[in-house]
Structure 1
Amino acid sequence: MRSASDLIKVLLVEDHRAVAEGLWALLDEYDDLTVVGWADSVSEVVPMTVELSPKVALIDYRLPDGTGAEAAARIREEDPDVVVVFLSADTSDAALLAAVEAGASGYLLKSAGGDEIAAAIRAADAGETLIPARTLMEVLARHRESTRLTAQQTERLQSLTAREEEILALMSHGLDNRAIADRLTISYATVRTHVRGILEKLQVRSQLEAVAKAAEWGFHPASPDPASETDDS
């Protein structure tokens, strides 16, 4: 029989009662683990950490008032000796990176079995890092590429002139070149020139692709103003 001081004290941070109760019952089957409490929100983690002095926090990533990364950061700010393991259904690179940045020792999916969760808690308590370096490097590489592409997309949208943005907005609302010319009271040839500029700057081959890419990159124009402009710019 283990003494209370030998047990690994676990704080559950999970907003779904049924999941929390299931985890509590599951972990209590292991004679070296004991669940000391359950927090269902970010706001509860600090007072419960102070009151219960857990060794390990087992945290879901999605919480009603924030993320598990925020919860982990608050816990470790209050008590740096508490180690954190995430147990989440979120498989995104962003969630994993946020967890790592918050000081997590491990990141498990909710499909993990009881023995795997218990082993992860023990390993984290022993000071081991459960996220393989190769996995982290792959995630970081994807994140850098995503950041680069996002910056590139933003730069392309920002390279459009005010008139090109206006024409792209009208294209997005389904107007063809002649309708755009009528709406803006400019020539059809001028519209075509602007459209060519839009396609070139966005590096696309058609007006439909320009509209699709612009929307994908965050260009969401308001409904066109019924009043038209008269400047041929």
Structure 2
Amino acid sequence: MLNIRVLLADDRMLVRLGIKSIFADQRDIEVVGESGDFEEILELVVGLKPAVVIIDALAHDLDTDKLTRRIIDQSAQSIGILILANAHDQGVLSAIRSGANGLLLKHSNPAQLISAVQMVAKGYYLLPPPADDGGAPPATPASHIRHPPKERIEQLTERELDVFRLVSHGWSNAEIAQDLALRESTVKSHIRSILAKLDLRNRVHIVIFAYRVGMFPGWASHPSRRETMGERDSA
């Protein structure tokens, strides 16, 4: 069974205890370390080699974006970073652009946190659905992603739109090729075209763009979870 090693980054002990209790009965997830100190977190990343680091954006003494970049810069192995935040936290999507794999809202339930850790450990990207209370979602420094015109989506062909949706769900090129009965080289070609038409730089920006224009359903889907694909087909 997959053993997902998790490191908790939060300066509040009670919050860390609460998160640890959620994973207590999970046989595939193990909390191997915890800290609320910036430099100690970096030392634990190197020493413990966790698969996922959970960063609480509400921690008082931790700069989420800076911590994300430092973890990625000094990690020899691939590492997943999951950020816990409120819907309107400023700067959180900047951490996503810096390399974090996912954002989970603080009001999410324990099952969603467990699922998010499992998905991030597999390399998928996760973003919550757009806010439904009329407020603005978190801002990102890239102006073309901060206010993406929905009209740009109309430039995509039907097949490119299919690929766009699956990329925004975190699917790999191989999974997309299998699902759409395409060659991987064709999928790569479609992604290059999507990036050019939407004026984006990489796959993470596709996820952010989908989130900003309200086309992102909130949870990544993949071939082993076909029950969720009805959302994609009806989008």
Tell me the TM-score range normalised by the shorter chain: 0.5 to 0.7
Q: Distance in 2 between matches of 1:29 and 1:48?
A: 23
Letter in 1 for 2:48: L
Amino acid at match of 1:22: G
Q: Distance in 1 between matches of 2:140 and 2:57?
A: 22
Structure 1 pair 144–21 and aligned structure 2 pair: CA distance change class (3 A): same
Q: Which amino acid aligns with 2:81?
A: V
C-alpha contact 2:11 2:61 (8 A) present in aligned 1: no
Shift of 1:64: 3.7
Of 40, 63, 83, the match for 1:44? 40
Q: Where do 1:210-229 residues align within 5 Å?
A: none
Aligned residue in 1 for 2:91 = 95
Aligned pair in 2 of structure 1 residues 24, 97: CA closer, same or farther (>3 Å)? same
The 5 A counterparts of 1:75-114 are 75-79=71-75, 80-89=77-86, 91-92=88-89, 94-114=90-110
Partner SS for 2:104: strand
The percentage of aligned residue pairs carrying the same residue is 24
Aligned to 1:225: none
**Shift, 1:41, TM fit:** 2.4
Which structure 2 residues correspond to residues 195-214 of structure 1 after superposition, within 5 A? none
RMSD: 3.1
Aligned residue-pair number: 141
Superimposed CA distance per residue, residues 118-140 of structure 1 (whole angstroms, 9 cap, x where no aligned partner)? 101111111111127989xx866
SS in 1 for 2:112: helix
Other structure's SS at 2:78 match? coil
For normalisation by structure 2, the TM-score amounts to 0.53
Q: CA deviation at 1:35?
A: 0.3
* Higher RCO (CA < 8 A, seq sep 6+): 2
CA distance in 2, matches of 1:22, 1:140: 28
1:22 corresponds to which of 18, 25, 33: 18
Structure 1, unaligned runs of 5 or more: 149-233
| Aligned-partner residue type, residue 14 of structure 1 | D
In structure 1, the residue matched to 2:126 is: 130
Cα distance in 2 between the residues matched to 1:91 and 1:50: 31
Q: Deviations over 1:127-164 (max 9, x none)?
A: 111127989xx86689738x99xxxxxxxxxxxxxxxx
Q: Which residue identity lines up with residue 83 of structure 1 in the other structure?
A: G
Gaps of at least 5 residues in structure 2 are 132-136, 148-235
Structure 2 equivalent of residue 144 of structure 1: 143
Is 1:120 the counterpart of 2:123 in the alignment? no
Alignment partner, residue 60 of structure 1: 56
Distance 2:68 2:140 in 1: 24
CA offset at residue 87 of structure 1? 1.0
The 3-state SS of whatever aligns with 2:127 is coil
Which one has the bigger helix percentage?
1
Greater C-alpha radius of gyration: 1
